[in-house]
Amino acid sequence: MIYEIKNDKIITSTKKLTNKSTNLICIFNEDEWKNYDLIENSPLEKIHFCKIEDAKKYMYGTLCIPIKGKFPLNYSCYFYFINNNLIFIEKENKIMELIDEIINTKSKKDYNVIKLFHDILEVFIKDDLSYLEHLEERLSLLETKIIKNDVHNFNETIIRIKKEILKFYHYYNQLLDLTDNLIDSYMTTEEVFVVYSQKIERLQSETLLLREYTQELQNLYESQITLHQNNVMKVLTIVTTIFLPLTLITGWYGMNFKYMPELSWEFGYPLMFIVFAIIIIICLIIFKKNKFW
């Protein structure tokens, strides 16, 4: 698909992409791109991140956009700035959908392919703040469950969220580098990218806050586990302390020497039972008084 910028508007075009073309926006798949000889040894490789590079006669780069809510899936494409033309190479029709969306907006003064590229990048991040807030809500819900001791598979959940936040952090960092390179080497007069860069910095700050939040949740979860273990150890200690004197008396009378006191007395057993009960009650009173339980 080929579009053209004419009179500050984007319109579909029947023009062909050539070395003399200007102000065209072309969306090709990889097979269609191979039919053009504008660039020798076109650097098409597997896309892992967002970048832009200057090849003197043209600029090329890649976009790797995390799909919100579908971690770890990405949307990816190549792009080129050649002779004031903007070329996208993608497997899906995402760019075409975005351009159709942009076409329906108001025309802008002195519109060009650089500003269009900016608008496309803007659309990619327009819902990111809301999505980061959604991640924060998930973390907040997880925090509530931790406090109520009602959380399951915590490590699996928090690691997945943490990886997703980290992915967005790296994504914003790559976009900052991309916009800085555009500002420095290609379009120093375009202030729209300066504003865009500031938006990315704010989004990146949000991801940093979320990363800190996940670390706090991990610390809270570990504290809850430690507290639970301490409570278990406290119960075991109390039980052990109560039964220690009982075990001593039982062991003592378990020796069964012939002339042990109360051994042949008919009330010896009930007496020992009463003694045991008194010892347990005294221990419980002492524990309660010292707030051991």
Closest CA to 47 of 171, 200, 203, 196: 171
Mean pLDDT score across all residues of the chain: 81
Q: Are 17 and 85 in contact (CB under 8 A)?
A: yes
- Three-state SS string over 57-81 comes to CEEEEEEEEECCCCCCCEEEEEEEE
CA triple 41-31-182, angle to 5 deg: 55
Structural domains in the chain plus CATH codes: 1-126 (3.30.460), 230-289 (1.20.58.340)
Closest CA to 221 of 291, 292, 161, 133: 161
Residue 40 to residue 264: CA distance in whole angstroms: 109
Closest CA to 220 of 145, 138, 133, 162: 145
Model confidence over 213-262: pLDDT tens digits? 999 988 888 888 887 888 888 888 888 888 888 888 777 777 767 667 66
pLDDT band at 13 (very low <50, low <70, confident <90, very high): confident
Is pLDDT above 90 for 157?
no
pLDDT band at 211 (very low <50, low <70, confident <90, very high): very high
Q: Which residue has the higher pLDDT, 4 or 164?
A: 164
Residue count of the chain: 293
* Bridge partner list, 87: 26, 80
pLDDT band at 133 (very low <50, low <70, confident <90, very high): very high
Place of tokens 């938006």: 199
- Three-state SS string over the chain comes to CEEEEECCEEEECCCCCCCCCCCEEEEECHHHHCCCCCCCCCCCCCCCCCEEEECCCEEEEEEEEECCCCCCCEEEEEEEEECCEEEEEECCCHHHHHHHHHHCCCCCCCCCHHHHHHHHHHHHHCCHHHHHHHHHHHHHHHHHHHHCCCCCCHHHHHHHHHHHHHHHHHHHHHHHHHHHHHHHHCCCCCCHHHHHHHHHHHHHHHHHHHHHHHHHHHHHHHHHHHHHHHHHHHHHHHHHHHHHHHHHHHHHHCCCCCCCCCCCCCCHHHHHHHHHHHHHHHHHHHHHHCCCC
Provide, rounded to the nearest whole percent, the portion of the chain with pLDDT above 90.
12
Model pLDDT, residue 40: 59
Cα R_g (the chain), whole angstroms: 35
